[in-house]
Structure 1
């Protein structure tokens, strides 16, 4: 007791023992966290992996001991027995196990990478990524608008047509959309052709799907030509049959014109022979420039000019649409990890100079990826990753890239400018690149592209890109195509089943809401061609019928009917197709035609898919115009008028269309929708706008199928 101090200064004592107190508190905190969290749950979200719970080496070093204590051996020891395993004779290899799981669907080369990070579904015979597991709806949109986002589109079908140029040109003219860009424009191979394909000789009926046509650049002295047709995998068989039929008709027509000449045509299925990546966003050019390294043996001046300008390219919108660039690149694993190319800028942050403009030419588009022997020779990389790692370990300076050797692979690729845009509005357009490379090289390229900071998109993000750009997306916005009917039926069965599983108090009563067709759009009723108890005039009455005699209405309708048939026959004659038969009347064409439209909400309201579009009567339109005018002029108005109009239940006879895609648009900052209405109803709305002096502002009401309130929007044609 003699050595103890007589007085204890608490403050000084605490300061002297502060380190020990802090260590004790940290230990207590770690001990409590260890009891409630496993090792991989302590990692940041972007580092969490499902494989970390099975492989201790996937956990950072500081948590490795804790993870090792939580592995399966501890569980087996606690149970007092070991989990039985297959005998050595019954064990199957990893490759055989994966092939066994692909009996009813096909995996992409990047499947395992996607399956660890995204939600997967069976679609069109493939196992595809639908959306990331993390919350990424808005970040994905920001990446497409301000950065870069990548989508593996290798599941798209590829059909090769090989033969005489005359026959291929006739074949494509017989089934492609005559209203789109001409086929001659892309025959040099310097551009791709985005068009729509119909059943042979059936334009404007029997639309199948949108397609992309790419010609192989060949010197004029060459004989046969090669064409690639890319299409949606769900309509591969239909398009393949349509091309075969068109080829037969073209050969038959050529033989009748000149029997001395002998033509041959070959149509092949190239599914699984190439991989395709879609890279969208303003930084996609810098990502391409940083991840890919062109081979040094390319002596083309056009390509050197293009590649040097890629660094300072702010957006691919400044390039010609559909421009094709072909070249060879080194194995991207040689210079892993890649670095994004950065455009040169001055002190203000603006680019120092605009890049040199590159015009599409057939020389610039040449690539060895068209050669089947080259593609087959590259299906398996010459060196595995472990071989390259062994070479990298011999570098004197760690982290440096490998110098390419003569034995290293040179991979031919195609780079195609891609734009998702609406011709009427370029503010919301998205631009980027489509990268085509041989089969077997998806993962080496994906690893380099992802390491640059590019986000990865699934099916949801790809649909959102088309919606934000204000363009139609197949099959969702293509009514009356065969695959749309299948898509609508599957969606209706799924949503109806979900609705039936809910109790009556937790689901909307569509009968009370007067929603006649809640599961799929009833286009026949909208067009007035359905066999219903109501007459056609009751379903879709025109505004002119209420204000003019029947004779006047007929005289006004005739000028719109006759040019329809004449214009279609002119386009068919342009493609050397016979005119429509006498059984096809102009009135029938006019009555059965749908037109794609876009809807911008005037104030509130967010239309969703399958929302119903109603016509507004003249009296309601005048009231809405008065309310809008008073708000604009800051005059007091009666809000009850607007509430009454929005809450009034529309008549079923005033239905004029349906929304195929609707949501809140992040790029516009308000609700937006894409739908379809009959052509006759669209002109009736325009006549109403002119009659009421609304300055071409066509007003409609939109009501969600489960809602009671109608929102007012402006309806315009969907161009592009």
Structure 2
């Protein structure tokens, strides 16, 4: 026996291995705590492992001396038979000083090596992952493991084999019996509505008497009367549908929008697509909007919020929102923040795909002047006091109120006809204001007209390096014919060359635009480049860019017949002529074997489209007839690396490009201010839903401002929004205190937080509100905050950009001594800015912006900024100084140093640091500070960060 076995046997003293309780169970000792089942099982496993290890060591020594029986130990024959196979290996290692003999070792393991080789060959053919697990994330479905219809067709055979091997229940979506013939959606809708109407008639005597006698006076039993009435009504419907003639002629533009319903013999397509255009009026009401609804199943759901053409497709893959009377995609269901940055941002070099968005919710109107002597430019100048367009912004009431910004203005025939694209939040107000302002020219002189095209001209946004390439794959024109060119189309040649060769769209000039005549996108079985693509690439791309740069856009638009067709109701309606149904397209696909394009250049009509470059991003906007948006949308989504986005992703891209988004960042407009109020209410509701132990108490925050240790102020203003109401109260209140008490304070910076001898914030002589300190203003604001919100006119924003007085002074415009009675009607002079972090960290929404006191800047913050520019971690001594609460309180800003708020802020992936956009006071003097540097504090924190300001143009 070896030393380890002898030691183990001596320790055991004849007892079982691992039992140290003197023969007693662990739970028998009264002084010892009893063990539960899990603890007992764990102890048993440890004992068993120790005993097995001891037996292995002992058996190894036994086989080593089985022939000589060293140390007098004699092994049994059964052990020799059991462990004879392993003893060969030990002999191999024991000879020659433990060197391994490869041939003998391989012979001893030959069976295992062959089994390993066989399993490797078998696993190469059968993957461990199932078919539905190898799909990309965007194609995975919840029921794909058992429902074969949730897997792409090209992979269904493999999925079926896997399901059969696993003895799994398979859902193929097929039935053994013949499918039952159901009513169509139209007939089912008519049947349900007729039953509801007849039931209502039977309950109402007045409605029953209104019907002819033959409809309800019958000798049949009561349960058969309803059927007979329904048969009579259906017969009348069939008779009227065959004998009715259309009303109104088709040779006028107004007949397209006013004639309803379109009879079957007046429609130029089987799908029922028409052009819904309002001439000198908005398209409203269920009758006109009913022309957009082609499925009776979903008619009632669109009574309040109209669906966009791609709604059914988007509703399955996105979060939808009810905005501006429409259902709009807010954000995709899947995560897309980094993907949106990589593909859509112009600063990203990783873009290898395309982002698309259905922007049919944008308001579009065509304004036309028929009087050549009084063109549109002269008309707008004559009405500058009521309606003025300046710097892509719309102003009303002598420029005292900003309505909003213009998304795009396209001249069709300058200066007599233009296309205006506006945000839906201001579109209806602008349309009605235009009708009111130019009522004399529209109604009396009839020299001016405006067309409401929000439901007749659709649009799609495309962003990313493959935006033009994807359009080239889906567009076919006369030049796209594979055999020969049926018609010269120079614009299409340029378009194909741009899309196939250009990826950096910043090389194009900002006002780039192009108009094309294309065929139905569905005529392509699969979106791909034309077979004769090489003939378009003969010209150098640099020469093409120079030609496009030297082209006068205005002269080209005046000669552009395609753009004129797109803005003509009759031409848009003509593009729907003989529009193929899905069954007709399937017949073409089956007949055209081996061909990708199944169009007929002689019979198929063309579609007018207009493409222009976005002014703010790395993409384009495509305008086309409203009912051609969905076919193109389906074709674009067939292309790999193409993803859909929503409103949230547009805000993200504009934020990364340092562009103010309308209406979210335009707080000087009614639409922007209302959007701010709604978001703050939503944030506060979420905060109130939390339990009190999980809510941050903003009123009890400490050490936020200078002298805060003397009296606790807490978070200034409403923590759920950029509280410009409080900033206005503070801004004019400080001017009031300095004006009324010149003996106490020289300027606004010297106003104290509290006065030791003051006991009340009331004027004892007049018994009215008064203020001598900053704390008085805060207390009065908290009392008046609820009243101010209730009495506030949400139709007029608080922020004014630019302020009515150019130098920012309010002394000559308002009577500051009338502060308590008139402050609610005064505008706050502000300037839009973009901020970037100088130190580490990133801003959040609603963060507070402060100016830096001149003395504090020279002593502390200047050195902090200089050290932090070269070292992201900051100077160690300076960090220790800043983190010292006693020293830090000396350099904290005062409450009156508050100069603005951050409206939108986070970590910017494009620049690799925190950035944001917001507003600051217009009369803030930054001459005493280095490079316009200020302080930022996020809501609910006491940590200040250095930020740099840059002015932004709205």
Q: 1:709 to 1:369 in 2, by over 3 A?
A: same
- Which one has the largest radius of gyration? 2
Q: Does 1:405 align with 2:601?
A: yes
Shift of 1:351: 7.8
Q: 1:598 to 1:179 in 2, by over 3 A?
A: same
Shift of 1:139: 1.0
Shift of 1:459: 1.2
In structure 1, the residue matched to 2:907 is: 664
Q: Partners in 1 of 2:659 and 2:507 — Cα distance?
A: 20
Q: Partners in 2 of 1:586 and 1:228 — Cα distance?
A: 45
Residues 639-681 of structure 1 deviation map (CA, whole Å, 9 limit, x = unaligned): 2233358787643322211111111111111000100012112
In structure 2, the residue matched to 1:557 is: none
Shift of 1:474: 1.0
In structure 1, the residue matched to 2:362 is: 156
Q: Does 1:325 align with 2:561?
A: no
Q: Are the counterparts in 2 of residues 646 and 709 from structure 1 also a CA contact under 8 Å?
A: no
Q: Does 1:228 align with 2:411?
A: no
Structure 1 residues 141-540: aligned runs within 5 Å: 141-145=341-345, 146-147=351-352, 148-164=354-370, 166=374, 168-173=376-381, 174=384, 179-180=390-391, 195-199=392-396, 201-217=397-413, 225-248=416-439, 262-296=445-479, 299=488, 301=490, 304-305=493-494, 308-339=497-528, 355-358=545-548, 359=551, 360=553, 361-362=556-557, 365-367=560-562, 368-379=565-576, 382-397=579-594, 400-420=596-616, 430-452=617-639, 453-513=641-701, 514-515=714-715, 516-528=717-729, 535=736
The partner residue of 1:46 within 128, 132, 138 is 138
Q: Report the secondary structure of 1:373's partner residue.
A: helix
In structure 1, the residue matched to 2:828 is: 592
In structure 1, the residue matched to 2:157 is: 61
Q: 1:249 to 1:537 in 2, by over 3 A?
A: farther
The partner residue of 1:114 within 314, 318, 328 is 314
Structure 1 residues 48-127: aligned runs within 5 Å: 48-49=140-141, 56-59=148-151, 60-64=156-160, 66=163, 69-71=169-171, 92=189, 95-127=295-327
Shift of 1:131: 1.7
Q: 1:386 to 1:251 in 2, by over 3 A?
A: closer
In structure 1, the residue matched to 2:261 is: none
Tell which deviates more after alignment, 431-440 or 233-242. 233-242
Q: Partners in 2 of 1:543 and 1:408 — Cα distance?
A: 81
Residues 535-582 of structure 1 deviation map (CA, whole Å, 9 limit, x = unaligned): 46599x9997669xxxxxxxxxxxxxxx986989xxxxxxxxxxxxxx
Q: Are the counterparts in 1 of residues 406 and 421 from structure 2 also a CA contact under 8 Å?
A: no
Q: Are the counterparts in 2 of residues 305 and 356 from structure 1 also a CA contact under 8 Å?
A: no
Q: 1:302 to 1:122 in 2, by over 3 A?
A: closer
Q: Structure 2: where are the runs of 5+ without partners?
A: 1-83, 86-106, 176-180, 191-293, 346-350, 480-485, 535-539, 702-713, 751-801, 817-822
Q: Are the counterparts in 2 of residues 312 and 355 from structure 1 also a CA contact under 8 Å?
A: no
In structure 1, the residue matched to 2:39 is: none
In structure 2, the residue matched to 1:558 is: none
Shift of 1:500: 0.4
Shift of 1:58: 3.7
Q: 1:49 to 1:123 in 2, by over 3 A?
A: farther
Shift of 1:419: 2.5
Q: Report the secondary structure of 1:362's partner residue.
A: helix
Q: 1:490 to 1:632 in 2, by over 3 A?
A: closer
Q: 1:44 to 1:57 in 2, by over 3 A?
A: same
Shift of 1:449: 2.5
The partner residue of 1:621 within 857, 873, 876 is 857
Q: Report the secondary structure of 1:627's partner residue.
A: helix
Q: Report the secondary structure of 2:612's partner residue.
A: strand
Q: Partners in 2 of 1:231 and 1:42 — Cα distance?
A: 44
Q: 1:309 to 1:519 in 2, by over 3 A?
A: closer
Q: Are the counterparts in 1 of residues 906 and 915 from structure 2 also a CA contact under 8 Å?
A: yes
Residues 224-258 of structure 1 deviation map (CA, whole Å, 9 limit, x = unaligned): x3322211112222111222233237789xx9xxx
Tell which deviates more after alignment, 464-473 or 520-529. 520-529
Q: Report the secondary structure of 2:614's partner residue.
A: strand
Answer 1 or 2: which has greater strand percent.
1
In structure 1, the residue matched to 2:952 is: 718
Q: Are the counterparts in 2 of residues 326 and 364 from structure 1 also a CA contact under 8 Å?
A: no
Q: Are the counterparts in 1 of residues 367 and 449 from structure 2 also a CA contact under 8 Å?
A: yes
Residues 467-497 of structure 1 deviation map (CA, whole Å, 9 limit, x = unaligned): 0110110111111321123212221221111
Q: 1:536 to 1:379 in 2, by over 3 A?
A: farther
Q: Are the counterparts in 2 of residues 208 and 239 from structure 1 also a CA contact under 8 Å?
A: no
Q: Does 1:653 align with 2:836?
A: no
Q: Are the counterparts in 1 of residues 839 and 868 from structure 2 also a CA contact under 8 Å?
A: no
Shift of 1:503: 1.2
In structure 1, the residue matched to 2:23 is: none
In structure 2, the residue matched to 1:580 is: none
In structure 2, the residue matched to 1:706 is: 940
Q: Partners in 1 of 2:815 and 2:402 — Cα distance?
A: 17
Structure with more relative contact order (C-alpha pairs < 8 Å, separation 6 or more): 1
Q: Partners in 2 of 1:28 and 1:263 — Cα distance?
A: 77
Q: Partners in 1 of 2:189 and 2:573 — Cα distance?
A: 28
In structure 2, the residue matched to 1:551 is: none
Shift of 1:502: 0.5
Tell which deviates more after alignment, 432-441 or 60-69. 60-69
Q: Structure 1: where are the runs of 5+ without partners?
A: 1-6, 77-84, 181-194, 256-261, 345-349, 421-429, 548-562, 569-582
In structure 2, the residue matched to 1:607 is: 843
Q: Are the counterparts in 1 of residues 458 and 624 from structure 2 also a CA contact under 8 Å?
A: yes
Q: Partners in 2 of 1:449 and 1:106 — Cα distance?
A: 23
Q: Does 1:642 align with 2:830?
A: no
